[in-house]
Amino acid sequence: MLSAFLRFAQLVDYHVDSRSFNSSFPAVRQNMSQTQMAIEESVARPLTSFSEDEQMFRESVREFAEGEIRKRVEEMDEQAHLDEAVTKQCFELGLMGIETPEEFGGAGGTFFQAILAVEELSRVDASVGVLVDVQNTLVNNALIRWGSPDQKKKYLAQLASEKIGAYALSEAASGSDAFAMQTRAVESGDHFVINGRKLWITNGKEAEIFVLFANANPEAGYRGITAFIVEKSFEGFTVGKKENKLGIRASSTTELILEDCKVPKENVLGEVGKGYKTSIETLNEGRIGIGAQMIGIARGALECALRYTAERQQFGKSINQFQGLQFQLAEMATDLEAARLMVYNAARMKDAGQNFVKEAAMAKLYSSRAAERIASKAIEMYGGYGYVKDYPVEKYWRDSKIGAIYEGTSNMQLQTIAKLIIGK
């Protein structure tokens, strides 16, 4: 069972030969705690190698994706709907609360483990990958970091066991300019009254718990933006239009409508007026999740291309024996490996408590471009077959396109990177 591998110890054996360290610094080594030893040993560990626990976890997620998701991918894409059996299994296997502490029913794992899960799921179906991604890297993370003890006890437990979450920031006039939001929250007794509309909300149809942003003090500009925990059942809250999309079709993307929606004051997430900090910092983590989704898509497309080019015969031999095609496959594999290293590095930095903002922006920017390039090239290698829905590569390309758009467009990532490297 996958759930058996989701309760991870915080210290792992990195399988590094420590004999030279022991002989050089015996006194220091003797006094080091287990935590210090693990940190010291991790220095020599390649980014693309895994601890035993991480490897078992990765293999278990892959087994689930291959055994339960792959057979449903085509139908879910055509119907633009996630199979409820898949979402139920995601909960049963602990994938909806990977970082959530065990006291709240979660797996108590690491951010990197969540990234591995998103990658493996997206290799088969990016729609399931983004379901798990949003739940973990945005919704759960926001509650873990800014939730009160009562909020954590109430909502994290539900999100780990049965309820899907969504992250509601974007609006018609507030996309890249997140601080231009028009949704308003007015204090009224023991609650806030929220009015406005949100657009492009992933998981919007299935979600029952929303981390939603509204401005409680428009005169203060972005300093009035406040995060709220909104339940689908709250008075005045409605899920609106479901978008008919190019890619990740099984993942719902909806409009949210708030008309005098009453939200109890105890559902303010963090502090009133500090929602801008919550949104920015949560999205920084979310971008690594999107990077994982993109490398999963790229891996799936490349694996399809490798299989097909080995099987397809032209002029008496497999087409992967032609040098021109070999060079293209090599470029695709190199692109994927570079993206993987960037995503893994950003995730490891996050777990290590280091500043990862630049690395997250770079990882999302590069991986989204790499996924689109690799999937597009895979279509060409399939020839006419690549252009029809009977074969899988056209879906990988459709799914890859969103990577340059959501959780910060590519231009916004470039702006973030530029500001950080020039110091402004």
Q: Which residues are catalytic?
A: 407
Q: Please answer whether residues 169 and 198 qualify as being in contact, where contact means their C-beta atoms are separated by less than 8 angstroms.
A: yes
The whole-angstrom separation of Cα 11 and Cα 139 is: 25
Indicate the SS3 state at residue 330. Answer: helix
Residue count (the chain): 424
CA dihedral 252, 255, 260, 263 (to 10 degrees): 40
CA angle at residue 295 from 68 to 2, to 5 degrees?
35
Contact 270, 278 (CB under 8 A): yes
d(CA 142, CA 278): 7
Q: Which residues contact 311 (CB under 8 A, 6 or more apart)?
A: 318
Burial of 156 from C-beta contacts in 10 A (0-12 / 13-18 / 19+): buried
User: Which tokens hold the place of 348?
Assistant: 């490891």
For residue 15, give the nearest of 53, 45, 39 by alpha carbon.
45
Instruction: For tokens 């972005």, name the residue.
Output: 222
| Residue where the block lists tokens 């990577």 | 403
Residue 191: how many CB atoms within 10 A of its CB?
18
Cβ–Cβ < 8 Å for 194, 171: no
| Paired tokens of 373 | 């390039």
Integer Rg of the chain from CA: 22
Q: What whole-number distance in Å separates Cα of residue 343 and Cα of residue 56?
A: 20
CA of residue 375 relative to chain centroid, distance: 19
For residue 31, how many other CB atoms are within 10 A of its CB? 9
Phi (first) and psi of residue 337, to 5 degrees: -65, -40
